[in-house]
Amino acid sequence: QCSHPNIIHFDPIIRTPDFIAIPMDCFEDGSARNLLESQPSFTSGLPEEMARDIFFQSACALKYLHDQGIWHRDIKPENILISRANGRVEAVLSDFGFATRVQPGITQMSGNYIGTPDYASPEIHCNISYGAYSDIYALGVTLFVLLTNEIPIKAPSMDARNDKTLRKFCNKLFHNLFPYHLLERRGYYMAFDLIKRMCNPKIDERMTIDEVLNHPWVMGAAKTAEESDISKILFPSYEDD
C-alpha cells in the first residue's frame, strides 16, 4: 500500500457477483498526454514551468517508490494523471500494472521485456539486467516529451522489429542521439542537461532519483512547492517540531 500525494489513491476493492470495481480518485483533466493534446498551444510542448511542475511531482512520487523498494517500470505521460485547479497543476503517478517490489539489496533484475517501447531504456531493449535506474531513463524521456511533444527516439513497431531495425535503434539509444536541438532552440539548456544525464546509456553514470531532485532545473519547482500550501506534504521533514 503506497501513501503519497503524488501517487494514485485507491479505495478498497468492491466485489459483487457481477463485477469487480476499483474506486480511485477522479482526474477530469486526464493524463499528461491528454494535456499535451488539449489545446493548440501545447502541440510543441507544455510551457516550461508547467512541465517542470508535473515532472517534479512525478519525481517525488518515484523517489517514494524507490525508497520503498518499488520499481514502476512503465513511466510515461499516459501514466501521469493531471488535475488543474486554483491556478496550479497537480500530478499523480498511476498504472502500477508492471510495477514490482524488490527485496532489500536487490539492484538489478533480468527477465522479459517490460514497459512501453518508446520509453524503455537501452538495457531493457537489449535484454540487459534492469533496475530502478531504468525508471530514471523513462522519466527523462517523459520530460523530453512534456517539453517538446516529441518522442526522442521512436522504437520500431513489433511488425518492423528485426535484427537490422533493432540494431539501428539500439545504436541511437546507446549513443544518446536525442534531438536535443528541440530543447536548445527553446532555450531549455538546464532541462537539456538534466535529460541528457537521466538518459545516459551508461547505467553507472545515470542519475539517481536523489540527484534528479537536486538538479538546479528541478530545484525551481521545489522552491515553488515549499512556498505553497502543499509544502508540508511534499516535504514532511520541513514540518515544525
Q: What is the CA radius of gyration of the chain?
A: 18
- CB contact burial 170-203 (16+ within 10 A = b; e otherwise): bebbeebebebebbeeeebebbbebbbbbbbbeb
C-alpha distances in Å from residue 27, one per residue of 40, 84, 85, 177, 199: 21, 9, 11, 35, 29
Q: How far apart are CA 234 and CA 211, in angstroms?
A: 17
Question: CB 22: neighbour CB atoms within 10 A?
Answer: 9
| Cell, residue 147 | 517539453
Query: Please, are residues 218 and 194 in contact by the beta-carbon 8 Å criterion?
Result: yes
Q: How far apart are CA 201 and CA 119, in angstroms?
A: 13
Active-site positions?
A: 74
Query: Please, are residues 225 and 235 in contact by the beta-carbon 8 Å criterion?
Result: yes
Phi, psi of 239, rounded to the nearest 5 degrees: -65, 145
Query: Please, are residues 121 and 137 in contact by the beta-carbon 8 Å criterion?
Result: yes
Angle between helix axes 216-226 and 189-198 (nearest 10 degrees) is 110
